[in-house]
Amino acid sequence: MTTGESGPTITDAMQHLTAYNAAAGARSIAEVTRAAGTAWVDALTGAVPPAGLATRGLLWWTTMADRRAPQWHLPNEIVLTTAFAHLRDFSPATADPDLIPTLVLPPQAGHSSHVIDFAPGQSQLETIAAAGLDRLYALEWRPATTATRGVTITDYLDVIDRSIRRMGGRANLVGDCQGGWLAAIYAALHPERVHTLTLAGAPIDFHAGESVIASSTRALGGLFGLAPYRAIVALGGGNMPGSAPLANFIAIQPQSEIGRQLDLLNNITDDAHVARYRVFEDWFKHTQDIPGAFYLWLVEHLFQRNELIAGDLVIAGRRADLRAITCPLFLLAGSTDHITPPAQLFAAAAAVGTPGELVTQRTATGGHLGLFMGHNALAEDWPVLMAGVYALS
């Protein structure tokens, strides 16, 4: 497949993408090299008798290789199901029936939705419920299959609408990353069903700030259009393989991956450290595919054309006008988020119709994943934002 008989090929496109990722990680190569040159020696020889090196190395290797499927930690019940999504009800029996319900839309970038209930004591859902918003629901994005490769943006919006109708017709909507721009689009099309809108690490202006992913997508789009992405989807049997974004994330910050494995080796006999390592790796490395039609749509209309912030996004004949959103808006960005820089999220404040006094903006310490599972964000930022939502519910 090529863009023309004498034009650039898909191989050229993949080489450009690799070059972008390499450039992104280049700043950290010296740091990685220094870490690898000292930590490995310390881990393997530091106070470890020679007879124990083989046992320690084998334990480290088997722990790295032993991946398990992530699990939900909070009690819940599936109350609505489709081929690509489950609606899970996390509400306890004691939940106030008069409270406006809250619906959380998790990220979807090749990983499971369990990130919002990452671990006991480290759960976004637990934090939201602790703020009093215990009429609590979440959509779980199921792995794409051959049967769901044709699922579209309208299907996703429809399952959100069916979920909110089932919950009573109006909800506090919370969207993380991809779940955030999806929540914003839904709120623009159905403002009467959204009581408050909370967005965390969600790209609204996909071209704002400095983001390797956004920059590389725009550059590839200018050179090859959708051809590279169509090729990846074709190789995935009609779906975007979850392993592809995982490889991208690791390429962007290789020092994080290497450092995590070195830390494991250095602490392989520390049961608490190994347990924490397992929880993260089980989520991070347990990838799932994304419906191909949906993925290609978002690359074209959001990453490349940036139609949401431009006001040009049309879905099923309707324009998703962010100015139609007038409900209270809560925004949470990460100070060092390299996936969704704060500028991409905070652009929403000026684009919506919500009065300025009803917009709350907050910047958490840390990066992208820390917004959803990090101790600091869950202890310092989410309680404040959710207290504001609860006061209105």
What are the structural domain ranges in the chain?
Answer: 7-119+139-393
- At 248-288, the pLDDT tens digits run 666 667 777 788 788 878 888 888 888 888 877 877 778 89
Measure the CA–CA gap between 221 and 210, rounded to whole angstroms.
Answer: 17
The pLDDT of residue 28: 42
Q: What pLDDT, in 10s, does the model give residues 283-336?
A: 777 889 999 999 999 999 999 999 999 999 999 999 999 999 999 999 999 999
Q: What does the pLDDT look like over 65-84, one tens digit per residue?
A: 777 888 899 999 999 999 99
Residue 12 has what pLDDT? 45
How many Cα atoms within 13 Å fall on the side-chain side of residue 43?
24
Cβ-contact 313, 307 below 8 angstroms: yes
| Percentage of the chain exceeding pLDDT 90 | 62
Residue 175 CA to residue 202 CA, distance in Å, equals: 7
Q: Has this prediction a pTM greater than 0.85?
A: no
CA distance 201 to 178: 8
Residues of the chain above pLDDT 70, percent: 83
CATH domain 7-119+139-393 topology? Rossmann fold (3.40.50)
> What is the per-residue pLDDT across 350-391, written as a single tens digit (0 to 9) for each?
999 999 999 999 999 999 989 999 999 999 999 999 999 999
Check residue 381 and report its DSSP letter.
I
Contacting residues for 58 by C-beta, under 8 A, at least 6 apart: none
Determine which of 48-57, 92-101, 142-151, 377-386 has the lowest per-residue pLDDT on average.
48-57
Max CA separation in the chain (angstroms): 70
For 141, the enclosing helix (H) or strand (E) is strand 136-141
Residue count of the chain, please give it. 393
- Residues forming beta bridges with residue 199, ordered by sequence position: 175, 331
CA angle 241, 243, 249 (to 5 degrees): 125
Q: How confident is the model at residue 59 (pLDDT cuts 50, 70, 90)?
A: confident
pLDDT in the model for residue 26 = 42
Strand partners, 78: 88
Is it the case that residue 137 has pLDDT exceeding 90?
yes
The DSSP code for 119 is B
Closest CA to 172 of 378, 328, 45, 322: 328
Task: Judge contact between 200 and 194, C-beta under 8 A.
Answer: no
Write out 41-56 in H/E/C secondary structure.
Answer: HHHHHCCCCHHHHHHH
How many angstroms separate the CA atoms of 295 and 377, rounded?
29
Give the model's pLDDT for residue 4: 39
| Digit-coded pLDDT (tens) for 202-222 | 999 999 987 767 777 777 767
What average pLDDT does the chain have?
A: 85
Of 77-81, 117-121, 178-182, 197-201, least confident by mean pLDDT is: 117-121
